[in-house]
Structure 1
Amino acid sequence: MNTPTNTQSALSAAEFTERSEGSGGSTVRLGALVPLTRPGWVEAGRHLLAGLELAVSEVNGACGIDGRPLELVVRDTAADPERAAAAVDELAASGVAAIAGEYHSVVARTAAARAHALGVPFLCSSAVLDALVDEPSEWVARVAPAQSHGWRAYADFLVGEGRHRIAVATQPSVYWASGTRILRDHLTPRGGSVVELDTNTLTPEALCDALVDHGVTALLLLVGHPEPATPIVRAVRGDSRLADLLIGAPAGQPEFTGWATALGRDGAGIPFLRYLPEHLGPLGERVGKELHQRLGEAASFVAFEGWDTVTVLAEVLRSHGTDREAIAESWPRVAVEGTRGPIRFSRTPGINVWQWAWAPVQIVDRDPAEPDRFRILHTD
């Protein structure tokens, strides 16, 4: 891929558009779905958008798409599936070549179904729900690994740590229910067990009592952040009966600084999934530094997912043009160097979208001695 070096100055989309229009050109428009307001996970949305925008800036700094600037048309989903569906309708009608992004799985599922129905290519950045669409789709592809892939690795980690009696603190959601099912199906044949505790009916204190009663050795937080995850962690950490209990968060809540700010040392030592290699290569290192400058903090894996998404689409647009059908037909021929390794899409058993199989998977936690530092506990 022809990307600018560190010394090249990247034109903004607006600057590039102005120059292009002056010579009779036009922009290539990409829609972007991002949770930027509550109840969406705003911090994740900010990182995802930073990755998307950085990649667009770099594409335009390298003369865009065959001399035409790439323009990102951002829509805030606020974790609302209906809002996402309306955004897909609007973006499709406005003539975008493709749609990218989204973090929340339930929202991405609705967006993917709508994009499939309308015949608009959708490259999902961060949502992991296996059943992103109900039937095989030629229109939808995904950079993030499927939930079953990552969560099975997490289950293997629990077994390796000698944690077989697992409790999951849950909220009603297709995503959380899917995660619970994956864990149970993977742990039960290995002598494990999974008990569900509904946080809508249990206070944090009552949940602690239930953990003691069930004799569990690990509690997994299949709930939103900051509520109810934060008060649950505080209650468990403050209960001397649960001093040996492992708290886990496979969905990645501790990845972001808001978690550390809210919980301090109580939020450390809680293993979670993230999709990064143990060591970034030169491209990943460079992009990570650029993202750090944009964000004012270290980039999460979600920011890298955003960059990879636009980089894939830019290569597709250069190689196959801006026609929507041509973009959708290109998924099996994609070969792009991403920040976390070579990206190619294939048909994976049980997954109805074109899937990168797979992004690297780590299980990490925040170091109790230094909560701003991550420890790699397991790689897959």
Structure 2
Amino acid sequence: MNTPPSPPGAQRSDGSSVRIGALVPLTRPGWVEAGQHLLAGLELAVRDVNDAGGIGGRPLELVVRDTAADPQRAAAAVDELARLGVTALAGEYHSVVARAAATRADALGLPFLCSSAVLDTLTEQPTEWVARLSPPQSRGWQVYADFLLGAGHRRIAVATQPSIYWASGTRVLRNHLATRGGAVTELDMSALTPTAVCDELVDQRATALLLLVGHPEPAASIVRSVRRDQRLTEVMIGAPAGQPEFAEWATSLGDADTAIPFLRYLPERLSPLGARVETALRERLAEAPSFVAYEGYDTVAVLADVLRSHGTDRAHTAESWPGVAVEGTRGQIQFSRVPGISVWQWARTPIQVVDRDPAEPDRFRILFPSPPKVRNRTS
């Protein structure tokens, strides 16, 4: 592996702790609630690592930087953290921001384990320095497309805004659905009002509307308009990017927040470790943890295992990705090379399509893949 020259002071450490840089959106326009869940998972795992003796007897320490969903701010944070001598980077939720961070980390030779961003092209060229826990968008959104087809939807409308992330998701959906008799129509929310969206849905005879837009606005206004329109009572609203996972979604939409399917990266049942972590996260967050919180925990669990086994040298950390085998909260984590993906990828990340149950909004229903039916025992 070619190791880029480290910037001055890159390997400096005060000797008292092993430091990991954490990139997290904690202020607007970042998704603050997602950032809080991600940070809670990171911090809980650091506590558990230190309770178990740290890294070779040295405590693990997070050095947190707020990205605020700003790619330039994230790249600057990577530079700063590299100068501070962090051993590796962790975190980030927003895909476009993670892409900027991954590109800069690759250039500096700083290992980066991305927790929660899904954009396929985190770096333009294959890199040894970056690994990722969340599934690539091409895989997750194909699962969502299969869910749509299985539910009988062939005419899909997407309400979208200009963004590399939304454009990439639309392309995945269109390509996957086109080969299976489906079609995708784009509704440009820079030119349409929520009321005009309703008219377009009627004209296009769409049976499903996907929200590829920001939250709370214009997503909340679109949902309210569609749900109030008597012409669209049979139209399914979906949000593949996962907005309904968070309590803020329910708060902003009230009674309209349920029955909106989204992607969630959890197994049907958590492992014993996952169940223990769930309890601790619920106490830390004062609410049910999202899948993003588990991603944060698993990120530190992987990095801690690598640092214990291979030491704190950055190059050795990056070289260790293919040998990782760590039991995380959602299954065993291993990295491999996936065709079309430029970073080391956990290829078996669990993927569900779920929604909030209209009869019990605090409960999530697994819609796809369908949970196995429980057979009655007979004597």
- Give your verdict on TM over 0.5: yes
Q: Which amino acid aligns with 2:107?
A: A
Aligned to 2:113: 123
Among 249, 252, 277, the alignment partner of 2:239 is: 249
Q: Which amino acid aligns with 1:333?
A: G
2:323 is equivalent to residue 339 of structure 1: no
CA distance in 2, matches of 1:338, 1:57: 15
Q: How does 1:13-52 map to 2 (within 5 A)?
A: 26-52=16-42
CA distance in 1, matches of 2:187, 2:150: 24
CA distance in 2, matches of 1:372, 1:239: 26
Aligned to 1:227: 217
Aligned to 1:61: 51
CA distance in 1, matches of 2:215, 2:26: 15
1:66-94 CA-to-partner distances (Å, cap 9, x unmatched) read 00000000000000000000000000011
1:103-122 CA-to-partner distances (Å, cap 9, x unmatched) read 00000000000000000000
- Secondary structure of the residue aligned to 1:241 is helix
2:86 is equivalent to residue 108 of structure 1: no
Q: Which amino acid aligns with 2:216?
A: P
Post-superposition offset of 1:182 = 0.1
Aligned to 2:87: 97
Aligned to 2:187: 197
Among 133, 143, 152, the alignment partner of 1:143 is: 133
Structure 1 residue ranges without an equivalent (≥5): 1-20
Aligned to 1:178: 168
Post-superposition offset of 1:62 = 0.7
**Does the Cα contact within 8 Å between 1:260 and 1:372 map onto a contact in 2?**
no
Q: Which amino acid aligns with 2:115?
A: S
1:266-315 CA-to-partner distances (Å, cap 9, x unmatched) read 11000000000001121100000000000000110000000000000000
- Secondary structure of the residue aligned to 1:92 is helix
Post-superposition offset of 1:379 = 2.5
Aligned to 1:319: 309
CA distance in 1, matches of 2:154, 2:188: 20
Aligned to 2:255: 265
**Does the Cα contact within 8 Å between 1:97 and 1:324 map onto a contact in 2?**
yes
- Secondary structure of the residue aligned to 2:292 is helix
CA distance in 1, matches of 2:272, 2:91: 24
CA distance in 2, matches of 1:132, 1:169: 24
CA distance in 2, matches of 1:180, 1:51: 30
CA distance in 1, matches of 2:147, 2:115: 25
2:351 is equivalent to residue 361 of structure 1: yes
1:217-269 CA-to-partner distances (Å, cap 9, x unmatched) read 10000011101100000000000010000000000000000111111221100
Post-superposition offset of 1:25 = 5.2
Q: Which amino acid aligns with 2:153?
A: R
Q: Which amino acid aligns with 2:168?
A: S
1:353-378 CA-to-partner distances (Å, cap 9, x unmatched) read 00000210000000111111110101
- Secondary structure of the residue aligned to 1:219 is strand
Aligned to 2:72: 82
CA distance in 2, matches of 1:347, 1:227: 37
Q: Which amino acid aligns with 2:236?
A: L
Aligned to 1:290: 280
- Could you tell me the percent identity over the aligned residues? 73
CA distance in 1, matches of 2:15, 2:254: 52
Residues 252-261 or 24-33, more deviating: 24-33
Among 247, 265, 275, the alignment partner of 2:265 is: 275
CA distance in 2, matches of 1:27, 1:379: 43
- Two-structure CA RMSD over aligned residues (Å): 1.1
- Secondary structure of the residue aligned to 2:179 is helix
2:287 is equivalent to residue 307 of structure 1: no
CA distance in 2, matches of 1:376, 1:281: 17
* Number of residues of Structure 1 aligned to a counterpart in Structure 2: 358
Aligned to 1:166: 156
Q: How does 1:201-220 map to 2 (within 5 A)?
A: 201-220=191-210
Q: Which amino acid aligns with 2:27?
A: T
- Secondary structure of the residue aligned to 1:190 is coil
1:141-172 CA-to-partner distances (Å, cap 9, x unmatched) read 00111011110000000000000000000010
CA distance in 2, matches of 1:264, 1:349: 42
CA distance in 1, matches of 2:315, 2:231: 59
**Does the Cα contact within 8 Å between 1:40 and 1:77 map onto a contact in 2?**
yes
CA distance in 2, matches of 1:105, 1:72: 21
CA distance in 2, matches of 1:253, 1:365: 11
